[in-house]
Amino acid sequence: MQFDPVFVTVAVIAVLIVGLSKAGLLGSLGMVGVPLLSLVMPARDAAGMMLPVLLAMDVIAVWTYRRDFNWNIIRIMLPGAAVGTILGWLLWSVVSDAAVLLFVGVITLLFVLDAILPLRKKVADRPPSRGWGRFWGAAAGFTSFISHTGGPPFQIYVLPQRLSPTQYSGTSAWFFAIVNTAKLVPYFFLGQLSVGNLALSAALAPVGMLGVLLGVMLVRRISMLWFYRIAYWLVFLLSLKLIWDGARAVFWGI
């Protein structure tokens, strides 16, 4: 396989960001992993390649936060996540690569808008319901299955509950470790765990695991105010490019 410095650079950056996010350092910015990889490889292959990498990172994150998680939230959201995972599996065969690209772009844009607009503040004082938790669990399961972008739906339900930083990180780590494990069987039957994807996964897994370890060390040591300001702009621009590329292919066949 010919060495491609652009591909290697983008892949390493994407996996490193996801690893830092797994540790709770970057919040849902870890969802940019597949969108970034979609710039240098097909969106479906990016999703398939990332799953084993995510599972390797989940091991470290779950072990790190093994005593810091809210089981009640996980118990409420998991049934919905199971429904979302099955729905993603059923729709996989009827959704084109371009549609996946467009979908990832829209989800990414919604993530940015959710961070900018004070929608959560308006409902922060209302106690979260079980039904709402199952709805957002289903949304997280579906978007996680399609493109590993389950972070924003998870955040929308969990952040208003004002968990401590370690409890939030632990709850996220356990929830997505379970969801990602559940995706293994469907991904296998869909052909996403091909030899080529697994080879890339094996090469990038150490980068992701390093990202988790770095994130654990840095999560309480650095100020991320300017990082978030810059990162959200970059993610915003990335979402527009993905939406444009996906829409051109889906609607105009370009």
Q: Which two tokens stand for residue 163?
A: 């968990």
The pTM of this model reads 0.80
pLDDT digits (tens, 9 = 90+) for 197-248: 899 899 999 999 998 888 877 766 666 566 566 667 777 887 888 788 888 8
**C-alpha–C-alpha distance, residues 173 and 167, integer Å:** 10
- Its domain, for residue 147, covers 5-252
- Average pLDDT of the chain to the nearest whole number: 82
Among the listed residues 170, 142, 139, 158, the one whose alpha carbon sits nearest the alpha carbon of residue 22: 170
**What is the pLDDT at residue 231?**
65
Query: Contact at 8 Å (CB) between 14 and 209?
Result: no
**What is the pLDDT at residue 26?**
61
Length of the chain: 254
Q: How confident is the model over 180-189, as a mean pLDDT?
A: 95
Per the structure, the count of domains in the chain is 1
**What is the pLDDT at residue 87?**
94
Phi (first) and psi of residue 185, to 5 degrees:
-65, -50
Angle at 52 between CA 57 and CA 213, to 5 degrees: 15
Q: Which two tokens stand for residue 117?
A: 């607009």
pLDDT score of 174 more than 90: yes
- The residue that leads in pLDDT, 128 or 202, is 202
Can you give the chain as a three-state secondary structure string? CCCCHHHHHHHHHHHHHHHHHHCCCCHHHHHHHHHHHCCCCCHHHHHHHHHHHHHHHHHHHHHHCCCCCCHHHHHHHHHHHHHHHHHHHHHHCCCCHHHHHHHHHHHHHHHHHHHHCCHHHHHCCCCCCHHHHHHHHHHHHHHHHHHCCCHHHHHHHHHHHCCCHHHHHHHHHHHHHHHHHHCHHHHHHCCCCCHHHHHHHHHHHHHHHHHHHHHHHHCCCCCCHHHHHHHHHHHHHHHHHHHHHHHHHHHHCC
Q: Which two tokens stand for residue 136?
A: 């957002």
Least confident of 25-39, 73-87, 141-155: 25-39
